[in-house]
Amino acid sequence: MNEEKQRMYALKLDETTALHLDLDGLKCALEMELEDYPDSAVELLEFKVSVRLMTEKEIEDLPEFDGF
């Protein structure tokens, strides 16, 4: 059976990774995360963004977490 895959956006900061369903969610997460840092510290942050194709089952099987 060929399951349709959905594009997911992975946002990683240090050891925390958050998956977002769309670019608006990714953008919102970045904005909220950057609000917590003073301008001088923002230059030191290194976010990594990647795109993953995942099935609905793979998405459902992800652990829940409190992250960005």
The domain spans of the chain are 6-60
pLDDT over threshold 60, residue 67: no
Tell me the average pLDDT of the chain.
87
- CA atoms of 68 and 31, how far apart (whole Å): 10
- The mean per-residue pLDDT over the stretch 41-49 comes to 90
Q: What is the DSSP string of 9-66?
A: EEEEETTEEEEESSHHHHHHHHHHHHHTS-HHHHTT--EEEEEEEEEHHHHHTSPP--
Burial 37-54 (b: 16+ CB within 10 A, else e): eeeeeeeeeeeeeeeeeb
Task: Over range 3-15, report the average pLDDT.
Answer: 91
Q: Is the pLDDT of residue 68 over 60?
A: no
